[in-house]
Each structure stands twice: as structure tokens, then as C-alpha cells.
């Protein structure tokens, strides 16, 4: 086992992608902080993007079909930068199961375990090093959660890629489910990694194709609650599927997943919370979230985008930041090393297919409010003839 510190990098094809053409047998789908961040310009930041958790009964209309929040007029730029959280690297340990690598944090006194699942094209580092996901992982670790992130088995089975998606087999013998089970055992075992104590609650969070893996794991392992980001969560749509308490985060302009999958899950789930990542204005200090970007450079990036017509008067992005070639030539030369995290931030601000840290506090509060003790017999067993 080795311990190391990681910087924000790991492009995972930069955006964790869920294949919109992937199918699930007998499924109606063939496609697959403290609450809000400083500098949020929403005038009703606790308004329509957040839906109170439901404990059953009739749900309201899917929040993705709601009215976008209003925004204050863009303020004068003034001097300096507004306060932003900085995505400082986590200290991570590394181990493996059946040849598949995983990384994990080791809090002094872990109270629970949070399993993270990367998107298609990604790897174990995406959910703990990429900017917005790292901000979430840092907050989770600060709350006493041990955070663990595993490579999909496709990294071994098809090392040339390109997608590295999670195996879609719905049985306990799915090689990825087998690896998740083995990882959890190692993290709990007092004679092995001994990261979390016996009985600690288990939570799971997945982005894009990783959200579908969360839905698959939840059919075979008892998890207290799950978080589904920008994903159709395919296995939750199989008839008879078990759906634990679930918090959903969906992008209003997600061009990969679209609204159907998240809205169908919202309708099906009994205990559910739903957050919409609406398009939000950029701010001069936004890019100081990136380690190595100071206020002066963040303002230069912001002004370059604004002066070249990429921002509306409200400082909302005028259009999707894809492809990157539409804006990278406009950046100051000093910003060149930070193109990948800048891209992540622009996608998030547009409400695209990207992880958002806007709802960290609300998501973590939802997960913790449904914590239940885990039991060894809750782990799946692969029985072969």
C-alpha cells in the first residue's frame, strides 16, 4: 500500500460520460458549503433548484421542468475576488482488489464509508481529484466519511479503453460488483486496511455511468442512501428494482443524459431529494477554486471570456462551452496549464453534463440523515455452479 497526495488533474476524457445508447434489459430507458457556494449570484438560491425530500406519496412535477431561478443584475466588477473554496488535494492511500486499483481516505475516526463511482471514460482518481468532485470529497472527509473510489474492471479487461464503463450485468457475479464487495471488506477488515469500524453506514455516489453502477450495487448490497449525479441510474428502472433513499442532481442543459432518466427516477423513488444545477453567472473569483490560480489570473480569465462575447450581460454563459476550441485561444497565456479544470467549471456553470459542488451540504445532509448500520451479511455473494 502506498500513500500519496494528488493534485487536480485526471482528465477522464475531461467529462465523465454516460453512453446515451446503453440499454438495460426490460427497462423503459435505453439511454442511459455548506449548501450553496460563496459567490452564487442567484437571488433565490434556496428556491426552485431544491425540492424538499419526499417520504412517499405524490411527488410534485419533476424539478427539471420547473422555472429557472431569477438572477440579480450582474454587479460591477469592482476590485478583488469574492471568496471561493479551494480544491486542495486530499491525502489518498491506494490498494487493489482482484487487480483493480482503488484509492481511499483515512480519517482519524471514520464514522461512515462513502463509495464513489467514476463516469465512463474515467478512473478511480476522477471523483477525488477533478475540481468539483474534489470539493465534494473534501467536505465528505471533513464530516468523518472515509471516501473510496475504485477503477471499473474494464481498465483490466479492456486496457486500451476508450470508455472504461462499468459492467452492466445485473447479477452478484458482475465483476465490478465482486470488486466493490472485496473493496468494502478490505476497508472494514480490522486485520487488513481497517479504515472504518464495524457497523459503519455505507453510502454510494456516482456520476454519469457511475450513477448506473450505484443503482446496480444497490440491488445487491445494503446501502443507507445514494446520490445520483447527471445519470439515468439504469438499474433503478428495471422492474422490481430496489431504490434506497436517493438524492438526485441533474444539469438543466445536460446534453448527454437529458431530463427523462432523472425525472423518471424522481417519480419512482419513495424517499427522494432533487436538485437542479441551473445555469449560473460566472464571477471574477470563480477560478480561484483551482489551486495555483490567484485572484489576478482568475479576473483575467473572467474578463477574457466577457470581453470576447462568451458571457451575457448577466454574466451567464451565452452558449455551451463545448468545444473547448471556442474559448481556449482567448485565455491569457498563464491560464494554459489550467484548461481542464476551467473547462469543468464552465460546464458546471452552464448546467451541462458535469459534476456540481453547489449542493454539497444538502447532499451530505441527506445521506447522513438516512444512515443505518451496515452488517456483514449485507454484502453480496457470487455463487457459481
Q: Could you give the count of Cα atoms lying within 13 Å of 249 in the half-sphere of its Cβ?
A: 28
- Cell, residue 158: 479492456
CATH of the domain at 252: 3.40.50.1820
The residue segments making up the domain with residue 312 are 286-348
134, 225: one domain: yes
Report the distance separating Cα 84 and Cα 315, nearest Å.
Answer: 17
Asked if residue 21 belongs to a domain, the reply is no
Identify whether residues 138 and 257 lie together within a single domain: yes
Do 130 and 227 fall into the same domain? yes
Task: Please indicate, yes or no, whether residues 309 and 329 belong to a single structural domain of this protein.
Answer: yes
What pLDDT is stored for residue 12 in this prediction?
Answer: 37
Tracing cell 470488486 back to the chain, one arrives at 179
In a domain, 217, yes or no: yes
Please give the backbone phi and psi of residue 235, each rounded to the nearest 5 degrees, phi first. -70, -20
Are residues 337 and 365 located together in one domain of the fold? Answer: no
Q: In which residue are the cell numbers 456540481 written?
A: 356
Residue 332 in any domain: the answer is yes
Residues 184 and 219 in one domain: yes
Q: d(Cα 180, Cα 184) in Å, to the nearest integer?
A: 6
pLDDT at 382: 86
Measured in whole angstroms, the distance separating CA 203 from the mean position of its chain's CA atoms is 13
| Residue 367: CB atoms within 10 Å | 27
How far is Cα 316 from Cα 319, in angstroms, rounded to an integer?
Answer: 9
**Could you tell me the three cell numbers for 72?**
440579480
Give yes or no: residues 246 and 303 share one domain: no
User: Which run of H or E residues covers position 205?
Assistant: strand 202-207
Contacts of 34 (CB under 8 A, 6+ apart): 360, 361
pLDDT (tens digit, 0 to 9) for every residue of the chain, 385 residues total? Answer: 333 333 333 333 334 444 433 333 332 232 332 222 223 232 222 222 334 444 444 577 899 988 888 776 666 777 889 999 999 999 999 999 999 999 999 998 899 999 999 999 899 999 999 999 999 999 999 999 999 999 999 898 877 766 789 999 999 999 999 999 999 999 999 999 999 999 999 999 999 999 999 999 999 999 999 999 999 999 999 999 999 999 999 999 999 998 888 999 999 999 999 999 999 999 999 999 999 999 999 999 999 999 999 999 889 999 999 999 999 999 999 999 999 999 999 999 999 999 999 999 999 999 999 999 998 777 888 877 6
Position 384 scores a pLDDT of 73
Are residues 140 and 275 part of one domain?
A: yes
Residue 327 resides in a domain: yes
| pLDDT, position 58 | 55
The pTM for the full model equals 0.85
Instruction: Quote the pLDDT of residue 265.
Output: 93
User: Are both 203 and 240 inside the same structural domain?
Assistant: yes
3-state DSSP: the chain helix, strand, coil percent, rounded to 5?
30, 15, 55
In the chain, how many domains are there? 2
Task: Determine, yes or no, domain membership for 381.
Answer: no
Q: Does a structural domain hold residue 246?
A: yes
Q: Is residue 378 a part of any domain in this protein?
A: no
Q: d(Cα 285, Cα 83) in Å, to the nearest integer? A: 7
- Inside any domain, residue 146: yes
| DSSP assignment of 296-349 | HHHHHHHHHHHHTT-B-TTS-BSS---SGGGTGGGS-GGGGGGHHHHHHHHHHH
Separate counts of helices (H) and strands (E) for the chain: 9, 10
Q: Are residues 188 and 322 in the same domain?
A: no
Same domain, 235 and 121: yes
Residue 14: predicted pLDDT:
33
Residues 337 and 218 in one domain: no
Nearest to 52 by CA among 43, 44, 63, 41: 63
Amino acid at each position: 500500500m502506498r500513500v500519496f497526495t494528488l493534485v487536480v488533474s485526471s482528465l477522464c476524457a475531461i467529462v465523465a460520460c454516460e453512453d446515451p445508447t446503453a440499454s438495460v434489459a426490460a427497462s423503459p430507458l435505453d439511454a442511459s458549503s455548506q449548501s450553496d457556494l460563496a459567490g452564487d449570484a442567484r437571488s433565490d438560491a434556496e428556491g426552485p433548484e431544491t425540492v424538499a425530500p419526499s417520504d412517499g406519496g405524490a411527488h410534485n412535477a419533476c424539478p427539471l421542468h420547473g422555472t429557472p431561478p431569477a438572477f440579480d443584475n450582474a454587479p460591477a466588477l469592482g476590485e478583488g475576488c469574492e471568496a471561493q473554496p479551494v480544491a486542495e488535494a486530499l491525502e489518498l492511500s491506494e490498494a487493489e482488489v482482484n487487480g483493480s486499483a482503488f484509492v481511499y481516505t483515512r480519517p482519524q475516526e471514520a464514522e461512515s464509508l462513502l463509495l464513489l463511482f467514476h463516469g465512463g471514460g474515467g478512473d478511480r482518481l476522477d471523483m477525488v481529484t477533478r475540481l468539483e468532485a474534489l470539493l465534494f470529497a473534501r467536505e465528505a472527509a471533513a464530516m468523518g466519511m472515509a471516501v473510496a473510489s475504485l477503477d471499473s474492471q474494464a481498465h483490466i479487461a479492456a486496457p486500451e479503453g476508450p470508455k472504461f464503463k462499468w459492467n452492466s450485468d445485473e447479477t452478484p457475479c458482475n465483476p465490478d460488483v465482486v470488486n466493490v464487495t472485496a473493496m468494502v471488506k478490505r476497508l472494514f477488515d480490522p486485520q487488513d486496511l481497517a479504515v472504518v469500524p464495524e457497523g459503519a453506514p455505507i453510502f454510494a455516489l456516482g456520476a454519469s455511468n457511475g450513477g448506473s453502477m450505484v443503482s446496480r450495487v444497490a440491488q445487491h448490497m445494503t446501502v443507507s442512501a445514494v446520490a445520483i449525479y447527471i445519470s439515468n441510474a439504469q438499474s433503478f428502472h428495471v422492474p422490481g428494482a430496489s431504490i434506497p433513499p436517493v438524492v438526485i442532481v441533474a444539469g438543466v442543459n445536460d446534453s448527454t443524459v437529458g431530463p427523462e432518466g432523472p425525472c423518471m427516477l424522481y417519480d419512482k423513488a419513495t424517499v427522494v431529494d432533487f436538485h437542479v444545477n441551473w445555469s449560473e453567472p460566472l464571477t471574477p473569483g470563480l477560478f480561484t477554486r483551482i489551486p495555483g490560480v490567484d485572484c489576478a489570473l482568475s479576473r483575467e480569465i473572467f474578463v477574457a471570456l466577457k470581453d470576447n462575447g462568451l458571457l451575457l450581460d448577466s454574466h451567464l454563459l451565452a452558449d455551451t462551452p463545448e468545444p473547448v476550441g471556442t474559448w481556449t485561444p482567448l485565455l491569457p497565456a498563464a491560464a494554459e496549464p489550467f484548461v481542464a479544470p476551467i473547462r469543468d467549471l464552465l460546464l458546471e456553470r452552464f448546467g451541462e453534463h458535469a459534476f456540481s459542488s453547489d449542493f454539497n451540504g444538502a447532499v451530505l445532509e441527506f445521506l447522513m440523515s438516512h444512515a443505518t448500520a451496515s452488517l456483514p451479511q449485507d454484502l453480496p455473494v457470487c455463487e457459481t455452479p
